[in-house]
Amino acid sequence: MYALLRLGLTTEANEYITWLEGILQNKNADGSLQIMYTLHSETDIPELELDHLDGHKGQKPVRIGNGAADHIQLDIYGELMDAIYLAQKMGKPLSYDMWIKVRSLVDFVCDHWRDSDLSIWEVRGAKQQFLYSKIMLWVAG
């Protein structure tokens, strides 16, 4: 958002907020968001291993898609709120309906800031307490 607005691409920044409003309209049952979506707002992002390919310097496995798509990464709420703040400040003002959706996200953050997650590191193990997630939740709150 910052890059778009600093480059004067306000139309694109506003279109991102419009796209985001659609995402916020279809939150998970618990009020959370998935950590990533396709450009068409789809949530199914399967991960496949391509055994017939080698990665950088022969590393394996080579994967396409993203197995972390269903991870809980609480840092996304801070990054999202920062983008919304910048859009509100430097772009088109948020509509009342969008503001209501944003408030519900803040409520989710207030209810879940103590939870463990997998953070931006996308660890493939047990959820933990990550400092980065806590800082970004603070940004969101």
62 and 128 share a domain?
no
Domain, as residue range, for 84:
2-35+71-140
> Once rounded to an integer, what is the mean pLDDT over residues 114-129?
88
Which ranges of 2-94 does DSSP label H, i.e. alpha helix?
2-6, 10-25, 76-90
Of 23, 16, 7, whose CA–CA distance to 92 is shortest? 16
120-129 long-range contacts (CB < 8 A, ≥24 apart) are 120/73, 120/75, 122/68, 122/71, 122/73, 124/67, 127/72
101 and 131 share a domain?
yes
75 and 28 share a domain?
yes
Task: Please tell me the pTM assigned to this model.
Answer: 0.85
At 85-116, the pLDDT tens digits run 999 888 888 999 999 999 999 999 999 999 99
Q: Is residue 122 pLDDT above 80, yes or no?
A: no
85 and 114 share a domain?
yes
- 60: helix, strand or coil: coil
61 and 88 share a domain?
no
At 32-54, the pLDDT tens digits run 999 999 889 988 888 899 999 99
Q: Residue 83: which residues within 8 A CB-CB, separation 6 or more?
A: 1, 2, 16, 20
101 and 134 share a domain?
yes
94 and 136 share a domain?
yes
Please, what sign has the CA dihedral across residues 76, 79, 82, 88? negative
At 8-38, the pLDDT tens digits run 999 999 999 999 999 999 999 999 999 999 8
**How confident is residue 125, by pLDDT bands cut at 50, 70 and 90?**
confident
Give the chain's domain count: 2
98 and 50 share a domain?
no
The DSSP output letter for 94 is P
